[in-house]
Amino acid sequence: MTTRYTKDHEYIRVEGDAGIVGISDYAQGQLGDVVFVELPSVGKTLSKGDEAAVVESVKAASEVYAPVSGEVVEVNSELEASPGTVNEDPAGRGWFMKIRLTNESELDGLMTEEQYGEFVKSIS
Amino acid sequence: MLNRQGRPSAPQAHGVSDPAAGMGDQAARLQGDANRATGSNPEAHPTFTGNKALAQIEPLLFEIGRYDTTGVDLDEPEDFEPRLGGLERKEAIGLPGLSEPETMRHYVRLSQQNYGIDTGLFPLGSCTMKHNARLNERMARLPGFSDVHPLQPVSTVQGALELMNELGRYLVTLTNMTAVALSPKAGAHGELCGMMAIKAAIEAKGEGKTRNVVLVPDSAHGTNPATAALIGFKVKPVPAREDGWVHVEDVKERLGPDVAAIMLTNPNTCGLFEPQVVEIAKAIHDAGAYFYCDGANFNAIVGKAKPGDLGVDAMHINLHKTFSTPHGGGGPGSGPVVLSERLAPFAPVPFVRMKDGSFELVEQNDEAGGTAAPFGRMTAFHGQMGMYVRALSYMLSHGSDGMKQASEDAVLNANYIRAGLADLMSLPFGNKPCMHEVLFDDAWLKDTGVTTLDVAKAMIDEGYHPMTMYFPLVVHGAMLIEPTESESKTSLDLFVAMLRDLAMAAKNGEKERFTGAPYHAPRRRLDETRAARSPVLKWSPPAPVAEAAE
């Protein structure tokens, strides 16, 4: 199981041929209280960098981009009723969607946990 | 000069005119402490009614209304046969009634809780809340303007049409453009109009299928990408640079045969004039694309620079920002669009035209004549007549020299605030001159435990409408302040002194003054998270007393 991060603060935790996508703890902290999450429909095909979801907080609405290319196989529909989960447990219950990867090598272009930690330190 | 508490306000008291130096730290501290020592802690003296003297608690209409009361006396209708096919109401509609004096008090009390440009300084950046001249109101109420109907025969409204024509001439002259569409209802509608003209021009060249990308800088108003997306363009962002400017090489990198247009705001939302605007326009035109300029900040450059000279092809003008017509609840907006020679043929109907010594309204595409190919029509009628009268009244009462001075004063005022606060607050792009608005970030609040939002709430306690917060998004914790030319030096001095006092309080660890604010507003701080997560959008009658007691 590997977790990779994007510069836009999405994470993807790969298990088998699919990856769970969400936003990082740093991202939820920057956004403030999340009040609404718009998720893609299951079956949607995304290219890396496509707008995959929208997260809205008391401060701003932001896009969540697909960290890799693939098909959306599952979404966390519980977020629609309780968007605050994204703040409480971004890496766990606050996940957004599960994507079946079409090109695993795209993961190599993303940051490791350690690299992401350094990246966050450099911008904060 | 005395402030509202009758104390001399610091800048004059010290005989120093520079607000940065004038509001001595010690003086400001004393003033701040005096406020809180003598100051009103409403909770310490609760009233029986909940009213605070002249500030009356006003419940909802539904809570004070009764179903057996009405302010009008209408005869009961005689028996009649309903012709609604069985869809008529079965029971009473449930609207509360009030007597006339009760109705009057309800709305007057609500209006007293309002804060508007007529109450005080309204520093919302990028919104330009300037003085709404009373002369404008007088002119708009002249019977020949206020009583006209859009379906009246044109021979009976020649004066109104002449006014529209004259307003259009002013707008075209001030911008050095070729044509104007007056009908768009406000800024975003104007954006849509301009972008539809661009789309029509692209389609006329047979490139409708291939040119489908619109470039939008990160600092743009959110309506820009929304407008482009609404009519089927794909939006490609141009990233922000650390200096707050859009760079021509960043634009060039993204140009290609697929690019239809760029949507650029100038002066931009960081309050900076785009120095490379002419180069950007040239690059855009060389690539066969069009230059849309968001004119929300035109008030900074009226009489100083003409968008047509900068290479702009289309720009909306917010009459309710640049030309002093009221905002929001005060009146509808109005967003005329000026078009370059390249786009003029595609201007929408209706428009006013002079023919045989009188004015006519061109209402249909095929009446446009010549090479004109209007893209269609955006509104049922002719736009916001009342706003046209007010805007032209502003233009004529100021003259070209006056409008130019208004731009200069707006820029001067914003820079006065920048200079007065630069040592205490933080400027994301360095301490360089701004245009009509000054942008601070929240770096100065680091480690204070106070956020931009808290500062805004504390400003409410101080009697000011907060500035624009958290926009533009390219700056962390943005505070965008636009005083406009309407404010006097006295007014700016007090505003700067107030913000200096807040800044020093935040840095001195007086966190509660911020995190609990507003303390003095009619309502305390809203739980924005809960309001957004579980909004109550409908009034429900309270439970009957017997049940509630259980």
Q: Does A117 touch chain B (CB under 8 A)?
A: no
Are the C-beta atoms of residues A2 and A59 closer than 8 Å to each other? no
Q: Are B529 and A58 in contact (CB < 8 Å)?
A: yes
| Contact at CB, B473 and A60, closer than 8 angstroms | yes
What whole-number distance in Å separates Cα of residue A14 and Cα of residue A20? 6
Q: Are B466 and B460 in contact (CB under 8 A)?
A: yes
Q: Does A7 touch chain B (CB under 8 A)?
A: no
Going by pLDDT thresholds of 50, 70 and 90, the confidence category of residue B398 is: very high
Query: What's the average model confidence in pLDDT over B349-378?
Result: 95
Whether residue B529 and residue A60 make contact (CB cut-off 8 A), yes or no, is: no
**d(C-alpha B323, C-alpha B316), whole Å:** 13
Q: In this complex, is the C-beta atom of B470 within 8 Å of any C-beta atom belonging to chain A?
A: yes
Measured distance CA(A29)–CA(B212) in Å, rounded = 36
pLDDT at B456: 97
Closest Cβ–Cβ partner in B473, B528, B533 for A83? B533
- Give the domain ranges of chain B: 50-67+99-113, 148-383
- Between chain A and chain B, the number of residue pairs with CB atoms below 8 A apart is 19
Task: Indicate whether B23 pLDDT > 90.
Answer: no
Closest partner residue to B470 (CB to CB) among A35, A56, A59 is: A59
B529:A33 CB<8 A? yes
Region for B86 from its dihedrals, namely left if φ exceeds 0, alpha if ψ lies in -120 to 50, beta otherwise? left
Contacts of A108 (CB under 8 A, 6+ apart): none
Q: Which of A59, A63, A86 to mutate to test the interface with B (most CBs of B within 10 A)?
A: A59
Candidate from B470, B473, B532 with C-beta closest to A35: B532
| Confidence grade of residue B493 (pLDDT, cut at 50, 70, 90) | very high
Q: Which of B470, B473, B529 sits opposite A35 (nearest CB)?
A: B529
A36·B532 Cβ contact <8 A: yes
Residue B10 has pLDDT above 70, yes or no: no
CB spacing of A84 vs B533 below 8 angstroms: yes
For chain A, list the domains and their CATH numbers: 2-123 (2.40.50.100)
Banded pLDDT at B522 (limits 50, 70, 90): confident
Contact call for residues B367 and B374 (beta carbons, < 8 A): no
- pLDDT band at residue B20 using 50, 70 and 90 as cut-offs: very low
Cross-chain Cβ contact A35/B473 below 8 Å: no
pLDDT band at B240 (very low <50, low <70, confident <90, very high): confident
Of residues B227 and B532, the one with the higher pLDDT is B227
pLDDT of residue B331: 67
Point out the residue among B470, B529, B533 whose CB comes nearest to the CB of A60. B470
Distance CA B215, CA B225 (A): 9
How far is B270 from B475, CA to CA, in rounded Å?
Answer: 9
DSSP count for chain B of H helices, then E strands: 19, 12
Check CB contact of B528 with chain A, cutoff 8 Å: yes
From chain B, the residues in CB contact with A83 under 8 A are 533
Q: What is the mean pLDDT of residues B315-330?
A: 89
Regarding the domain delimited by B148-383, which CATH topology (the fold level of the hierarchy) does it fall under?
Aspartate Aminotransferase; domain 2 (3.40.640)
Q: Cβ of A42 under 8 Å from any chain B Cβ?
A: no
Smallest CA-to-CA distance from B320 within B128, B89, B38 is with: B128
Query: If we measure between CA atoms, which residue out of A2, A24, A53, A15 comes closest to residue A116?
Result: A24
Beta bridge partners of B217: B238
Instruction: Quickly tell me which residue has 């000279």 as its tokens.
Output: B309
Calculate how close chain A gets to B449, using CA atoms only, in Å: 14
Beta strands in B328-445 (DSSP E): 337-339, 351-355, 358-362, 438-440
In the structure, what pLDDT confidence band is assigned to residue B328 with cuts at 50, 70 and 90? Answer: low
Which percentage of chain B shows pLDDT scores above 70? 90
* Per-residue model confidence (pLDDT) at position B94: 83
Whether residue B500 is predicted with pLDDT greater than 60 in this model: the reply is yes
* Least confidently predicted of B198-212, B319-333, B355-369: B319-333
pLDDT in tens, B26-49: 444 444 444 444 445 556 788 898
Residue positions counted in chain A = 124
- pLDDT of A2: 87
- For B314, the enclosing helix (H) or strand (E) is strand B314-316
State the average pLDDT for chain B: 90
Asked if residues B458 and B445 have their Cβ atoms less than 8 Å apart, the reply is: no
Query: Does residue B7 have a pLDDT over 80?
Result: no
**CA-to-CA distance for B293 and B287, rounded, in angstroms?**
17
Q: Comparing C-alpha atoms, which of B163, B162, B157 is closest to residue B140?
A: B163
Per DSSP (E only), the strands in A16-95 are 18-23, 34-38, 45-46, 51-57, 61-65, 70-75
